[in-house]
Amino acid sequence: MLLLILAGLILAVQPALAADAGPVCGVYGFDPKSAAFKGKTPERIAEALSSWGVNAVFGGYKDPLLRKALRGRGIRVFAELTAFAGERHWKTRPESRPVSEVGEPLAKVKWYAAVCPNQTWLRLDIKKRAVSLVRKQEVDGVWLDFIRYPGHWEVPEPHLEQTCFCPVCLREFRKETGVAVPEELTAREKARWILSDHKERWTAFKTASIAGLVSEVADAVHAADPAALVGYFAVPWERSEKRGAVLEILGQDHRLMGRAADVVSPMAYHALLRRPASWITDASMAVKADSGKPVWPIIFVGDAEHPLGPGELRAAADAAWQGGSGGLILFDLGKLAEAGRLGELPALFSACLD
């Protein structure tokens, strides 16, 4: 019996050990069919990535020969899994469109179409897809993206509003808290009633819902492959920032979510938020302190609207490493390739070339 218990403990800590096994230099948006790798064999692609210091990629997991070549170079293969976003859900399952605090269907913001986080069918599908990625695609880990309540936060002054007050959410709120919302009220009045009389319980309900799915996905993935990592992309706001919006609006409580995740990746997009590169250090340290888990910040490499020169990108990468991170992810490889800047990768990933 003791041996069985010890074996279980060893399996339980495998992902955590893997998350701390040396610096991670990752690229998001890896596409082996892109122009940067045109005409290259899987072995040549893996060789190129390795020469740049890359030892982790998000993408490219559908080709078994490529997976083998990447792992032969010590490059881990991860997958991103979108949770609560996607206009396709609005079309196929209209009930998934969140209801705002004024009782109206939530509007799309540019490219972002948020989805209600309490749709049972969707939560089950997310877990199913995560397990499939580990079992069928043999990825080394799954990162949950858009794992939050609605909020287009990637701008300096985001418009933030309370959601979701759909019938499913109100039913789940009553089930979890015992608070029954008066049925005779309109949708707008129901939202106002909750936020006026039960806001703390509402926030606790939201954060528990998001953290609960992280836990369910982690349990399912680790059961399928104890060595696979489960991470998530974190909104990098401190708990008191923007009147506690990361908790009250987005429902991301890293103290709760970190209990189940193996790695947390703060989305430290300083250029989009008009923050100095030094902010990346502070944001990473704050998320690490809250979650209690290794952090691999993901930083934005720039685009036509938010250009970053080589020196600025290097400063951002240095700030990420200074934040006590065990890894660095660049968002994204495709943009660097389009700009002809892949040659900058060795300098950014020098920690993985030493």
Residue 214 inside a domain? The answer is no
Q: Find where tokens 């990346």 sit.
A: 280
pLDDT of residue 19: 64
Is position 53 within any domain? Answer: yes
Residue 41, domain member (yes or no): yes
pLDDT tens digits along 211-240: 999 999 999 999 999 999 999 999 999 999
Rounded average pLDDT over 140-144: 98
pLDDT in tens, 333-349: 999 999 999 999 999 99
Q: Is pLDDT at 299 greater than 60 in this prediction?
A: yes
Which residues neighbour 279 within 8 Å (Cβ) at sequence distance 6 or greater? 268, 270, 273, 319
Instruction: Output the pLDDT for position 13.
Output: 44
% of the chain exceeding 90 in pLDDT: 93
Predicted pLDDT of residue 323: 87
At 160 the pLDDT is: 94
State the pLDDT at residue 292: 97
Domain count, the chain: 1
Q: What is the mean pLDDT of residues 131-141?
A: 98
- Whether 8 shows a pLDDT value over 50: the answer reads no
pLDDT of residue 354: 72
Residue 298, both tokens: 């993901």
Q: Which domain holds residue 344?
A: 22-74+262-354
Domain membership flag for residue 140: no
Is 326 inside a domain boundary? Answer: yes
Query: To 10 degrees, what angle do helices 310-322 and 278-291 make?
Result: 30
Instruction: Determine, yes or no, domain membership for 281.
Output: yes
Res 173 pLDDT > 60: yes
CA distances from 83 to 97, 119, 168 (A): 14, 11, 17
pLDDT at residue 14 above 80? no
Residue that has been written with the tokens 């606790």 in this structure? 204
Residue 160 counted as domain residue: no
Q: Is 333 part of any domain? A: yes
Confidence grade of residue 27 (pLDDT, cut at 50, 70, 90): very high
Region 248-270 average pLDDT? 98
Q: CA 220, CA 227: separation in Å to the nearest integer?
A: 12
Per-residue pLDDT at 42: 98
Residue with the bigger pLDDT between 301 and 17: it is 301
What would the pLDDT profile of 88-127 be if each residue is shown by its tens digit? 999 999 999 999 999 999 999 999 999 999 999 999 999 9
Q: How confident is the model at residue 22 (pLDDT cuts 50, 70, 90)?
A: confident
Position 6 pLDDT exceeds 90: no
Q: What is the pLDDT of residue 18?
A: 65
Tell whether the model's pLDDT for residue 72 goes beyond 50: yes
Q: What is the average per-residue pLDDT within 9-38?
A: 76
For 176-203, what is the mean pLDDT?
97
User: Is pLDDT at 271 greater than 70 in this prediction?
Assistant: yes
On the question of pLDDT at 17 being above 50, the answer is: no
Is pLDDT above 50 for 272? yes
Average pLDDT, the chain: 94
